[in-house]
């Protein structure tokens, strides 16, 4: 009797265990089914729009949108590519002007009469910016209607800078938009872009070809520049960088000549310009891209962390390369009381008359004077001869120069 009861109890326990196991298996199976359904339920749905479907305009398909029809009802959209016709140019002549649905669109580098492809990079309230991708064609355009001659406002300190006027200017910096081809001068604060004159520190005679309110354009006349103070300039005509006393590259200033070795190609103009280093200072050398080439250069521009230079054409070793930290020339500070020759700074070019030979180097050096400033001219030994010279160093009461070919 007791054995029968024990057996019945054992069977009941096994049945309960089986029921629990079945329930667990059911729950696990249900979970697996749910997971499977969720994982397989993410299907890819492809929606095909035809060209005439209104909804197709919401997506950038990469197609070129023709905006050459001025009457086309288009809205400029960021990232889209358009076919444009350049109908005008910006005031500073650096960008072409087209229209997308009547909205003015600036395209840097495009020129009047071109049909181009351009990508919209910025959409503003009234204007659009775009990048030039490719020029498709160029159409000969009739001359643009002449704009009314600029009339300076009363009290304009640069009122004399008008189309046709000729004057001397000093190139203060290289153009950032057309480096190596244009130089920037300033006359009474007015920016003057000089075509074909990019050498910083050069003084030359120019003719104003166009004048706007805040900018003017000019070209060299070919006439010799004067030697007196620049007319209409109340500020120094060129900013001379003055290094600190502890600057290891203090000798690298405008007008200085030294030997450098190209260590790498220029990232901005590979195959054209090279990069050298002098006491840690980066020096961009125009026209010398060959790594390892040693060249004698003249510094044309100096900034705190970089300088620009051009080859002198002289063989390496013509002048001893300065030791790091050696100051071979100091920038003359024209910030003090103004004198009639305050404009004469390192890098300036001017015509000088040789008055006498140097007592110290009579076979190599002559002496000229500008408003009482004594200038020792290397290579100018013929008394009475007028030579073109470049200032290489300036002190308070004396300056040094070298004869250069006439431009």
Q: What is the phi-psi region of residue 221: left when phi exceeds 0, alpha when psi lies from -120 to 50, beta otherwise?
A: alpha
- pLDDT for the residue 236: 38
Task: Write out the DSSP string of 287-315.
Answer: T---TT-EEEEEEEEE-SSEEEEEE-SPP
> What CA–CA distance (Å, rounded) separates 138 from 133?
15
State the CATH class of domain 241-331. mainly beta
CATH homologous superfamily for the domain 61-138: Nucleic acid-binding proteins (2.40.50.140)
- pLDDT for the residue 53: 60
Q: What is the phi-psi region of residue 188: left when phi exceeds 0, alpha when psi lies from -120 to 50, beta otherwise?
A: left
- In sequence order, the β-bridge partners of residue 31 are none
Label the pairing between strands 386-394 and 166-170.
Answer: unpaired
102: tokens are 């009547």
> What CA–CA distance (Å, rounded) separates 190 from 216?
7
Closest CA to 206 of 190, 191, 192: 192
Label the pairing between strands 103-108 and 95-100.
Answer: antiparallel
> What CA–CA distance (Å, rounded) separates 268 from 159?
38
CA angle 300, 305, 310 (to 5 degrees): 25
Q: Which fold has domain 158-239?
A: OB fold (Dihydrolipoamide Acetyltransferase, E2P) (2.40.50)
Give the HSE-up count for residue 252: Cα atoms under 13 Å, Cβ half-sphere: 31
- pLDDT for the residue 328: 37
28: tokens are 């696990």
- pLDDT for the residue 86: 92
Closest CA to 348 of 297, 307, 399: 399
> What CA–CA distance (Å, rounded) separates 299 from 250?
12
Residues of the chain with CATH 2.40.50.140: 61-138, 158-239, 241-331, 349-403
Give the HSE-up count for residue 60: Cα atoms under 13 Å, Cβ half-sphere: 10
> What CA–CA distance (Å, rounded) separates 261 from 275?
8
Backbone phi, psi, residue 15, to 5°: -65, -40
DSSP state, residue 173: E
- pLDDT for the residue 330: 41
DSSP state, residue 10: H
Q: Which residue has the tokens 């749905």?
A: 45
- pLDDT for the residue 136: 92
Q: Is the pTM of this model over 0.85?
A: no
CA angle 111, 113, 119 (to 5 degrees): 60
Are 298 and 283 within 8 A, CB to CB? no
Indicate if the alpha-carbon torsion angle 381, 386, 388, 392 is positive or negative: positive
- pLDDT for the residue 118: 92
Q: Which residue has the tokens 């073109």?
A: 388
Backbone phi, psi, residue 165, to 5°: -70, 145
- The architecture that CATH gives domain 349-403 is Beta Barrel (2.40)
Q: What is the phi-psi region of residue 196: left when phi exceeds 0, alpha when psi lies from -120 to 50, beta otherwise?
A: left
Helix or strand (DSSP H, E) at 16: helix 2-40
* pLDDT tens track, the chain, 407 positions: 555 555 566 667 777 777 778 878 878 887 887 776 665 555 556 666 565 665 555 555 668 889 888 777 888 888 899 999 998 887 767 788 999 988 889 998 888 899 999 999 888 878 898 988 889 998 887 776 666 677 888 888 888 888 888 888 888 887 776 777 788 888 887 888 898 887 877 888 999 988 888 888 899 988 887 766 565 443 333 445 677 777 888 888 877 888 999 988 887 767 778 899 998 888 988 878 888 889 888 887 788 888 888 887 788 876 544 433 333 344 455 444 455 566 677 777 788 888 888 877 777 888 888 877 888 888 888 888 888 888 877 777 788 888 876 55
- CB neighbour class for 332 (10 Å; exposed up to 12, middle 13-18, buried from 19): buried
Are 185 and 192 within 8 A, CB to CB? yes
SS3 187: strand
């Amino acid at each position: 009797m007791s054995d029968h009861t024990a057996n019945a109890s054992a069977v009941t326990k096994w049945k309960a265990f089986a029921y629990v196991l079945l329930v667990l298996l059911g729950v696990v199976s249900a979970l697996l089914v749910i997971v499977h359904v969720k994982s397989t339920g993410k299907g890819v749905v492809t929606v095909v729009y035809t060209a005439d479907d209104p909804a197709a305009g919401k997506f950038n398909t990469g197609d070129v949108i023709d905006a050459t029809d001025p009457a086309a009802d288009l809205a400029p959209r960021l990232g889209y590519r358009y076919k444009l016709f350049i109908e005008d140019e910006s005031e500073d002549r650096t960008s072409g002007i087209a229209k997308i649905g009547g909205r003015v669109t600036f395209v840097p580098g495009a020129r009047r009469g071109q049909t181009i492809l351009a990508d919209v990079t910025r959409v503003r309230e009234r204007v659009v910016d775009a990048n030039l991708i490719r020029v498709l064609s160029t159409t000969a355009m009739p001359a643009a209607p002449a704009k009314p001659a600029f009339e300076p406002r009363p009290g304009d300190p640069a009122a004399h800078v008008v189309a046709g006027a000729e004057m001397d200017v000093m190139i203060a910096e290289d153009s950032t938009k057309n480096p190596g081809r244009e130089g920037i001068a300033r006359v009474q604060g007015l920016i003057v872009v000089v075509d074909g004159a990019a050498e910083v520190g050069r003084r030359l005679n120019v003719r104003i070809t166009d004048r706007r309110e805040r900018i003017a354009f000019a070209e060299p006349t070919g006439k010799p520049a004067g030697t007196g103070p620049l007319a209409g300039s109340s500020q120094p005509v060129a900013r001379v960088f003055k290094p600190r006393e502890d600057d290891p590259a203090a000798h690298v200033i405008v007008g200085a000549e030294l030997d450098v070795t190209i260590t790498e190609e220029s990232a901005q103009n590979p195959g054209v310009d090279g990069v050298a280093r002098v006491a840690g200072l980066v020096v961009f050398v125009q026209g010398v891209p060959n790594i390892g080439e040693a060249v004698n250069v003249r510094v044309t521009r100096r900034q705190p962390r970089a300088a620009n230079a051009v080859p002198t054409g002289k063989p390496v070793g013509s002048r001893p390369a300065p030791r790091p930290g050696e100051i071979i020339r100091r920038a003359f500070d024209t910030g003090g009381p103004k004198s009639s020759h305050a404009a004469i700074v390192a890098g300036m070019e001017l015509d000088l008359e040789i008055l006498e030979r140097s007592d110290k180097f009579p076979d190599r050096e002559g002496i000229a004077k500008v408003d009482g400033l004594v200038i020792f001219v290397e290579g100018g030994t013929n008394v009475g001869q007028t030579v073109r010279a470049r200032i290489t160093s300036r002190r308070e009461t004396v300056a040094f120069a070298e004869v250069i070919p006439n431009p």
